[in-house]
Structure 1
Amino acid sequence: MTVNSAAVPKVNRSLSRITCPHCWEVFPPEKILWVAEHADLLGDPMLGDEEMQRFLPTRFTVGGDAIDARGFPCHVLACPHCHLTIPRPMIELEPFFMSIFGAPASGKSYFLASMTWQLRQTLSSKFGCSFNDADPGMNQLLNEYEESLFLNPKANEILPLASLIRKTEEQGDLYDSVSYGNQVVSYPRPFLFAMQPEKGHLHEAQVDKIGRVVCLYDNAGESFQPGKDKVGSPLTRHMAHSRTLMYVFDPTQDGRFRKSMDSLSNDEGEIAYSEKLSRQEPILQEAASRIRRYAKLRQTEKHRRPLIVVLTKYDAWSHLLAPLVGEDDNSEPFKVVQGKSGKKVHALDTPRIQRYSKFTRKILMNSCPDIVAAAENFSDEVIYMPVSAVGWCARKDRENGMLAMRPSEANPFWVTVPYLYSLHRCIPGLIPGIKAKEGAS
């Protein structure tokens, strides 16, 4: 049985305007396209011969699915502008754009994989929020990274870190090409996660208000070289749409910071960081310049969205921060407190996070003041967070000089905190935080 209807997918609730996570076009739900299913309909004029046709349907099944030209029911949606697929949660939940960027070899991909793996373990059990792949296909590469680090079949063997996760590239699995006539545009492919409050959450009844599809973009450091971002390769333009920016900085790659590290070895006397040195402040400066341009900010105007400076490889420099914060505590900054309703809930220990940020900034000011200046001249809210993607298990292989670890020994430090803090700041009610008197906000 078929029915004629408007081209809006049958869902519990539809947004009045949908934002494409690929090209950032905003359009009404009735304009959304469907992806054909029948094999005869292979080949899309914008995506090439290997992709199924996109179409605006006129016939639907009773269940609300579109019917293609060969009579097959269809299930996948696509953007009317770029024709790339859009997961169904994006027509029901508001998007939350988040961008991660940093210099090559800063540990960004390790941090990202460790963060999402830990969020899967933490969000539901601690904060009463679901955290699911909105599109498993688009998240496949990240899922592979997670498995390599935390579900490795050789977990008890010492493996080179470089073999666990490959570096982010400017083309390949993280990009999609679209033809607009004679112009081919390569869009960065985001990782997509659906988040909404579960039963028992303080605001479980407000799922439509505070539920989100998080669109997480991972940029290769090379994308910030002059001339890399252009009409045909808008590699970093999503950053102007992002509610939060995470700048990943590896302090062990900075020669000035290394001089302040008075103890550079782990318990076995082996250097626990790479010998590579590199300048990283140009990445932050170039990112700030592009965001100003795309967001139409004046040079004297600050970006009114949080910038989180994520300092990686904390296991190699924790001895610098611990004395300043007055503790050597590797626990997560979570506390069980009483919410407004009287219910006991987990909340972010925001005073502790701010204390760590204050003293991390102090360390940076003494060794890398240009990083602090670039960050604070750009954003009106900057917070500095130490993280370690794998914990205190990295060591230098004596035979080949490469960094290595046993995956079974991975014990990440604070990798979820930048993400959780972002949601706490930008989506009131989703992730509670502690106020001065230890109440959950």
Structure 2
Amino acid sequence: MTDAQTIDRALRRPWYRTVLEPALERDFDNHRDVAWRRALTTYVIIVALLSLFGLVVDAQGGILYFALVLKLGILLPILLLCLLLVLFAPLSERGRWFVLTASIVPTIAIVCLLATAIDSPFTARYLTVAGMVGTYVIALPIKSRQAISLCALNITVFFGLTLAMTSPAEFAAVADIIVFMSVVMILCLELVRRQERTQKDSFLLGLREKIRAAELSDLVNELSRLAHLDGLTGAGNRRSFDLRLSAAWHAAIANREPLTLMMMDVDHFKSYNDTAGHAAGDACLQAIAAAIASGAGCPVEMLSRYGGEEFALIFPANTAVDPEAIRRGVEQLALPHPGPGILPIVTLSVGVAATFPDREGASMEGLINSADSALYEAKRLGRNRVVVKGRLPGMARRATDAVPASPHFRVAQRERSPH
């Protein structure tokens, strides 16, 4: 992919150099597709109109019938085909030059045929018209190198045909026109170079702005993401929780579906932190956040750190998230709890509440209070358990149903009991 440094280097190229690096040159060619189509369309239409207007001169020279056969029977169908290709067909670089060649060569050939069929005084006029057809090519969005080749070819063919098909006296009569057109074409080469340089610089500046805008957008998105993440656990912070709950609430209203909020608290974490130290406490929270995310089957960023040792998770009520699996996953970490007279390992209490946001009386504050009440109930019942409030589709347990701690944990707890 092109970077800003490559573009800056291209913008600093010498004034006489128009060619860009291959990748940038290809991008520029693709960028000019619309300009090419517009210019080719204009060119083909002008050639067709000039051919039709030339029928007046053809009539004056006595070759109207011959001109009608050549122009209406051959030239105009070819020009119409070229116009259809320009308007509707996907054109590569070769396709553009094919259309250009297919419109120029038959036109010049037919004009030259008419020049041989008309009386001598009109021959030089027809050849001058043939030269003008080639001159118009310079007005196309071609590159400097291509313009030089076309200019040299056009002048050579123009001089050669005029010398071959006219007498010396006739050639002398139109020599000033031939010289004038040749000088004009040569001067146009500098205009083509300047135009190409200007177009490429404009293209490079626009491309650089797009790249910088994309980089700035990525940076803003990254800063926004970091601003909504908890630096310790990698979970969302409280601001992220508020935004997620609001978004999920309105989505649930729009979809007429229930919403579930799970509040989780690390049991006796203050004692753990005071006894083991803050560094161990930080490592404990990181491990628990990862275990909760694993049990919920979601990235840790989808989890929210609601408070110091409290986490929250928002999901549709019919989502296959098992609160008991989350509690059990934390228990299976078997992180030793160093607090005296406290649980032997670090555990998690879980409170779950669900509601239909589209129903009358439902509110986000009510859902938070209900989940917090369920969490408080889990703590009151002895911690290391799940309490669910609300009966909704996808919720496996009844209202205010408590899932007790595992038998293994209860045995370990009795062993640590002073009685």
TM class by shorter-chain length?
under 0.3
Higher strand share: 1
Bigger fraction of residues in helix: 2
TM-score norm. by structure 1 comes to 0.19
Q: Which of the two has higher C-alpha Rg?
A: 2
Of structures 1 and 2, the one with the larger relative CO (CA 8 A, separation 6+) is 1
